[in-house]
């Protein structure tokens, strides 16, 4: 009898987990320097049983944090990302209509500037504000943090200042930040 109840409980739990939308998996894809067709194609991936999009999030990779002076970072959008945001934003809107979140990923660009480079708190806040303003300007859903490729010596405090300024920014109430825990192409443990 106890074994039967345990098996019944397993079935109930499986059904509960399988039908609960809040427990659905997030499938995230990074589009590295995407062409417009790449963005368009993401919306074509659907789960056969549900006809819902396979991907929950699309990360447009990557917008760069540039400069040779660490306390003076500048955002840089390459031609492919600029094309998506300025000339093909309707492709992003089509994904969002399908409940696919679209985020921008920012990372250092082999220069003395990036998330964990030495910068003052005021500079970190200014950088965060620029990122948030661009996300809002283009009607995107969030920011992906990718802390790799900078040539500066790390300053963890700068990283947290930027991330905290993004998180607490009033314009991002319904958005979120997805961290990519990489540093110099190696996964970092939470510390």
| Alpha-carbon gap, residue 150 to 175, rounded angstroms | 26
Higher pLDDT, 17 or 65: 65
Is residue 87 annotated as a catalytic residue, yes or no?
no
What is the average pLDDT value for the chain, to the nearest integer?
79
Q: What is the mean pLDDT of residues 123-135?
A: 93
Residue 87 is predicted with a pLDDT of: 97
Q: What is the band of 85 on the pLDDT scale with cuts at 50, 70, 90?
A: very high
Of the residues 130, 148, 188, 189, only one is catalytic, namely 148
Higher pLDDT, 166 or 108: 166
| Alpha-carbon gap, residue 136 to 170, rounded angstroms | 11
pLDDT at 95 over 70: yes
| Alpha-carbon gap, residue 4 to 187, rounded angstroms | 44
| Alpha-carbon gap, residue 67 to 23, rounded angstroms | 41
CATH superfamily of 28-187: Glycosidases (3.20.20.80)
Q: What is the mean pLDDT of residues 141-150?
A: 84
Q: What is the mean pLDDT of residues 115-144?
A: 90
Q: What is the pTM of this model?
A: 0.76
């Amino acid at each position: 009898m106890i074994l039967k109840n345990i098996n019944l409980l397993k079935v109930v739990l499986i059904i509960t987990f399988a039908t609960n939308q809040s427990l659905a998996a997030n499938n995230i894809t990074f589009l590295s320097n995407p062409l417009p067709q790449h963005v368009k194609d993401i919306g074509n991936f659907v789960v056969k049983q549900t006809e819902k999009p396979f991907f929950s999030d699309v990360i447009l990779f990557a917008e760069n944090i540039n400069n040779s002076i660490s306390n003076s970072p500048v955002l840089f959008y390459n031609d492919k990302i600029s094309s998506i945001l300025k000339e093909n934003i309707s492709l992003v809107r089509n994904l969002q209509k399908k409940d696919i979140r679209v985020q921008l990923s920012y990372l250092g660009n082999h220069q003395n500037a990036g998330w964990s480079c030495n910068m003052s708190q005021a500079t970190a806040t200014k950088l965060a504000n620029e990122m948030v303003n661009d996300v809002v300007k283009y009607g995107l859903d969030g920011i992906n943090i990718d802390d790799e490729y900078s040539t500066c010596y790390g300053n963890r405090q700068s990283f947290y200042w930027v991330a905290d300024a993004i998180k607490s920014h009033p314009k991002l109430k319904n958005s979120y930040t997805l961290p990519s825990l990489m540093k110099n192409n190696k996964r970092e443990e939470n510390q």
